[in-house]
Amino acid sequence: MCTLRGQGCIRWAALLAVVAMGTLAGCITAMDRHSAAQLKENLAELRQLNFVRDVPFTVKSPDEAQRMIEANLSRDSTEQQMRLSGTAGAMTGLFPPGTDLKQAELRLARQQIAGFYDPKLKVMVQVRGQSVLGSSMMGRTVFSDELLEAHELTHALQDQHFGLQAMLSRVKDNDDEEIALHSLIEGDATLAGLTYVSGDSTEKNVEDIVTRFAALPDSFEPESSGTPLALSASLMFQYSAGTRFVAEAWERGGWSEVNALYHNPPQSSQEIIDPSLYFETPAPPMQIDLKGYETLLPGWKQMDTDTFGVLLLRVIFQRNLADSSAAADSIEKTWRGDRMVILQKGDQLCVLWLIAFNTSDAARDFATAYSSILDNLEEPRSKSHHLEARDNAVLIVIGPPAAKFSQLAPAVWKATTLTPQCSLLFPTDNVAVGCKPVTALVQKTLVAPPTDSLH
């Protein structure tokens, strides 16, 4: 599942989890150690990775597991950071007003987490009384223990060979890249676990697994149940879309191809949604350096930076538009990158956000649709806002500084740069997208005249 960290609006306990399918009557106990040893041996052979060290295993009650998850939350983020994330998310339309992000995450974890691997403590935990999602989908709930252990032991293998904690730390200020990385991690563990339990490594079985998990998001209750859509959607995305993404790699070259993903992981949810943007025509998101506002906003302190990406933008539109399908499809096809800065002055917050698209028409259409969303949000802090489309990008200011947009926007447009990122998979394509080595990046300064200004 998603990682909690000190940055970003989507915050989770720093655990790698397997999702529950519901509570079973009676208790689920751990496998006997002989069976577990055999599972480890067979799983290592399947995943083509050997265990470097033993993985401690423990069974916890739901209350005990909840306390572990809460401890992770408290360890990695303060109460103030959690409140800031919830408020900033509500200002953009990502969360409902008044979202208590910490309690929402704890509630979702209690309902949906059957077990987890903690990459900091290097321990595997099973939650007593929960059945693993996927076991019932295969009509074999009796193998819930085996599936959970195979899933979490795959996380241990990932961690021992690829250093998951370091990988997750590198994306701590980018929700979108973190969701993409978790989609790789969870998709791998899901596919490996189900392939192992089924005893079937054929292409047809892999296709069946992907098909079954494609419907996974539909199994969650709507936002009215108390869990913000942004949390449940991003959690389910990692398993459903993540499994499909990893299966694409597996079909191209087996588990060795999956292992190679960790050396060049996907950088955006867009690549997970459309694997061809990773495997065939790489389109890594543009690097956006958002500047120019600092001297015009004295007293405002930068509290956070983030990137929402396609998935979270899609959630914003889904939450706030009656018919969001066309807009969501457009975002998935035209998004090229975004960067957000969250500023604070006393008890006031400001969201400064720039989103890049592949055409000026796409930028203008997004600005029009998102302006309508902001106009109708119930969050009081969103009432003051201003948007402007310029060339293929949209600048958004939400909060009191929007009143100074006429001075703020020209300075931001002038100082902000967009840099195409290099493809590591297809280095010969870098010239075509204007990408050069990191020491000599091509930069585009946004100085074109505005095409649309909305408030």
The 10s digit of each residue's pLDDT in 316-361 is: 999 999 888 898 899 999 999 999 999 999 999 999 999 999 999 9
pLDDT value of residue 449: 45
Percent above pLDDT 90 for the chain: 61
For 20, the token pair is: 């529950």
Q: Are residues 393 and 376 in the same domain?
A: yes
The 10s digit of each residue's pLDDT in 158-215 is: 999 999 999 999 998 899 999 999 999 999 999 999 999 999 999 999 999 999 888 7
Residue bearing tokens 């609006």: 9
The 10s digit of each residue's pLDDT in 35-68 is: 778 999 999 999 999 999 999 988 999 899 889 8
Which of 262, 279, 296 delimits the end of a domain?
Answer: 279
**How many domains does one find in the chain?**
2
Quick check: is 4 in a domain? no
Q: Are residues 239 and 101 in the same domain?
A: yes
Residue 316 near residue 94 (C-beta atoms within 8 A): yes
Q: Strand pairing partners for 19?
A: 113
Residue from 407, 445, 88, 89 nearest 290 by CA: 445
The whole domain housing 357 covers 287-454
Residue 436 near residue 442 (C-beta atoms within 8 A): yes
In angstroms, rounded to a whole number, what is the distance separating the alpha carbons of residues 69 and 271?
A: 29
Which of 255, 279, 303 delimits the end of a domain?
Answer: 279
Which of 228, 255, 279 delimits the end of a domain?
Answer: 279
**In this structure, what are the phi and psi dihedrals at residue 453, rounded to the nearest 5 degrees?**
-130, 130
Q: Looking at residue 302, which CATH number applies to its domain?
A: 3.40.1000
Q: Are residues 291 and 270 in the same domain?
A: no
pLDDT bin (cut points 50, 70, 90) of residue 150 is: very high
Residue bearing tokens 């996380």: 155
For 447, the token pair is: 């100085």
Higher-pLDDT residue of 389 and 30 is 389
Q: Are residues 147 and 168 in the same domain?
A: yes
Angle at which helices 33-47 and 175-198 cross, to 10°: 110
Quick check: is 7 in a domain? no
Q: Are residues 299 and 392 in the same domain?
A: yes
Q: Are residues 88 and 133 in the same domain?
A: yes
Q: Cα dist. 353→16, 236, 396, 443 in Å?
A: 30, 26, 5, 19
pTM (2 decimals)?
A: 0.88
